[in-house]
Amino acid sequence: MEIAVVFAMVAGAAPPASAARAEPVRITRFLGEQRLPHLMRFEETTVGGLSGIDRDPATGTWYFISDDRWRYNPARFYTGRLDIDRETGEFTGVRLTGVTTLTRADGTPYPAYGKPGSADPESIRYDPWRRRLLWGDEGDRPDTRSPAIPISPSGVRSADIQGRNVGELRVPANLRLTDTESGPRRNFGFEGLAVTARGIAAVTEGPRYEDGPVPTVERGAPARLTVWSSGGSVRGQYAYPLDPLPVAPIPPDGDADTGVSEILAIDDHRYLALERSWIQGVDYRVKLYEIDLRGATNVLNRDDLSQGAPYRPVGKRLVRDLGAFRPPVQNLESMAWGPRLASGECTLVIGSDDNFDQRERTTFLAFGATGCP
């Protein structure tokens, strides 16, 4: 059975009745935009590639992780402040206050791109319940375009605020990177990460080889969202139904890349998800969704989602088409809750990864929102 058929059997199903009790997340207003200069220098590092952000609610400290793979500097995260007025909601500034190198269990930095064990940091979360940092490493593997790349395992790693490795989660066997056409594709490993009081969730950017082809204009594809308990045991795995490409590349046989670039916890069952596409001749397109795991099929033990019995993917509701909000949309890859405003609204901050490319920007967009934690 083709993926499109499986999705058609379940996409129209109503969400579980319990989902109706929760107030949905809604964007109420735009609070402002702030940018960092291209290739900004800070404490002897080059700032860019900021692909994950989060905030410690107790101190107001923001964390920003770079996906620089030692093109400029070793794997690292920055700390900083975002200036959001709690009375008016106005977003007036962003500044960095520190930089920390991420280190392995032996205390050394992660190797550079193209070397075994290199890191590809894509998301960062501050865990206030256990006072640690969690970060998602997409890893690397060979494929037909880059056959000489060695395997660097993807994972969800924990660190103290000094960047020292203090552990990592066990990755399910079906998400381990290989040197064959099995498991996650290259650049489709762990991309989004979320943490709650009860657990941790991470989502792959796109489909595994066994789960079918990548999205096209005609059809979507399933990514996999894995949930662990706070103690590190796997609780389940669920199919996230990626949209078809929003438009065709120009020319029609041009390149396109689409997938989940970040998730953010609302509660233990619901998350926000950024679904981001880059399409040759078109540029970026990004949509913000609210997803709900309740009622979804646990596919942890299903190796192939492209055929077999039908399954129910996670529920999915469009919150905002960010591509239509502020064109030209940037490469939006990070998302975090900011401070609560005097009005009772939450603040939602969404950031872009500039890919160290002068044609793109490091920008932060702040929104007021309701229905949030």
Q: Which residue has the tokens 């989060």?
A: 54
Q: Give the total residue count for the chain.
A: 373
Q: Which two tokens stand for residue 242?
A: 């990626």
Other residues' Cβ atoms within 10 Å of the Cβ of residue 244: 15
> Quick one: pLDDT at residue 21?
65
Q: Looking at residue 267, what DSSP letter applies?
A: S
Tokens 């005097």, residue?
A: 342
Q: Could you tell me which residues come within 8 angstroms of residue 359 by beta carbon, excluding any fewer than 6 positions away?
A: none
3-state helix, strand, coil in the chain (%, to 5): 5, 45, 50
Q: What is the identity of the amino acid at 207?
A: P
> Is the separation of the CB atoms in 51 and 121 below 8 Å?
yes
Helix (H) or strand (E) holding 79: strand 76-84
Domains for the chain: give ranges and CATH numbers: 3-370 (2.115.10)
Q: To which residue do tokens 């998730």 refer?
A: 263
CA 83/CA 123 separation, integer angstroms: 22
Residue 4 DSSP symbol: H
Q: How far apart are CA 251 and CA 139, in angstroms?
A: 31
Decide: helix, strand or coil at residue 193.
strand
Q: What does the alpha-carbon distance between residue 284 and residue 324 come to, in Å, rounded to a whole number?
A: 11
> How much is the pTM?
0.94
Give me the residues paired with residue 175 across strands.
Answer: none
Structure tokens at 360: 């793109």
pLDDT < 50 regions, the chain: 1-20
> H or E segment at 290?
strand 283-292
Residue 224 pLDDT: 98
Q: What distance in Å separates the CA atoms of residue 81 and residue 38, rounded to the nearest whole number?
A: 18
Count of CB atoms situated within 10 Å of the CB of 145: 7
Q: Record the tokens describing residue 86, joined without a space.
A: 């709690």
Please give the pLDDT value at position 13. 40
φ, ψ (nearest 5 deg) of residue 202? -140, 145
Q: What is the pLDDT of residue 88?
A: 97
- At 11, give phi and psi (nearest 5°): -65, -30
Identify residue 71 by its one-letter amino acid code: R
pLDDT at 22: 83
| One-letter identity of residue 144 | T
Question: In a 3-state reduction of DSSP, which class is residue 72?
Answer: coil
**CA end-to-end span of the chain, whole Å?**
39
Do 53 and 124 contact (CB within 8 A), yes or no? Answer: yes
| Token code pair at residue 139 | 């890893």
Q: Which residues contact 9 (CB under 8 A, 6 or more apart)?
A: 310
**DSSP state, residue 227:** E
**CA atoms lying within 13 Å on the CB side of residue 96:** 23
Centroid of chain to Cα 9: 27
